[in-house]
Amino acid sequence: MKNLTVTDIKHEASIFLRILSQRGVDSLFGKNDGKAVGTFVEHEFHAYLGRDYNYVIGSSASGIDFPALGVDLKVTSTRQPQSSCPYSSAEQKVYGLGYHLMVFVYDKRDDMESELAYLNFINAVFVEDKRTADFQTTRGIISILNNGANLDDIDAFLEERNLPLDDIGRRMLAGRIVEDPPIQGYITISNALQWRLQYARTISVAGQVDGVDSIL
């Protein structure tokens, strides 16, 4: 068996999703619980990969599904492509989550005659860690830096964006931004006890932006 690589997982995801899209699933018939669908897809994907590859499956301690690769898998409905992830620090909105995201987007249909559910996967996106920051936050920072912003300007911008930081933490982050400007992110990240990630823009730019790949 081979050791799983990032290249492998992207290639195998494309094949797996095409196969699963053709398969009826009785256990999901009549269920619209996104968590149940996500758990099912993740379990099936691990089973599929486990036939040919050696890798460690993530745990609650690691926080992501493929810790050795730095990849987290998200399964979401096309009706509202979003998910949550653990909050680590406010800097994630500026510099990214710290790992890659692989997002499977499905449209679920129940066949009343056969009593089977079908998951039609219409998008699959791989977002490199460098692109997992918040779109609006990074766009604003890049814009004002290009217009000669200083530390005070960045501090004020972060305050306006309501990042979850106290005054000292915000000032420190502003200093880091001046010294190490972020690159454009493509996730919409909403403040909450857990980050709320939204993927509509990510899907729309997949294949057109370096670091945001369409894999289906």
Three-state SS string over 89-153 comes to CCCHHHHCCCCEEEEEEEEEEEECCCCEEEEEEEEEEEECHHHCCEHHHHHHHHHHHHCCCCHHH
Q: No. of H helices and E strands in the chain?
A: 7, 10
Say if residues 87 and 119 touch (Cβ distance below 8 Å).
no
Say if residues 72 and 127 touch (Cβ distance below 8 Å).
no
The amino acid sitting at 127 is V
- Res 187: pLDDT: 96
The C-alpha atoms of residue 31 and residue 34 are separated, in whole angstroms, by 8
- Res 62: pLDDT: 66
- Please tell me the total number of residues recorded for the chain in this structure: 216
Element (H or E) spanning 21, and its range? helix 6-21
- Res 34: pLDDT: 85
Say if residues 23 and 45 touch (Cβ distance below 8 Å).
no
- Res 131: pLDDT: 97
The amino acid sitting at 130 is K
- Res 88: pLDDT: 87
- Res 87: pLDDT: 84
DSSP-assigned letter for residue 50: H
For 170, the token pair is 């915000």
- Res 204: pLDDT: 94
- Res 30: pLDDT: 87
pTM value? 0.92
Decide: residue 144, CB within 10 A, 0-12 exposed, 13-18 middle, 19+ buried.
middle
- Tens-of-pLDDT digits for all 216 residues of the chain? 899 999 999 999 999 999 999 999 999 998 888 889 999 999 999 999 999 999 998 876 667 999 999 999 999 999 888 998 888 899 999 999 999 999 999 999 998 999 999 999 999 999 999 999 999 999 999 999 999 999 999 999 999 998 889 999 999 999 999 999 999 999 999 987 678 999 999 999 999 999 999 998
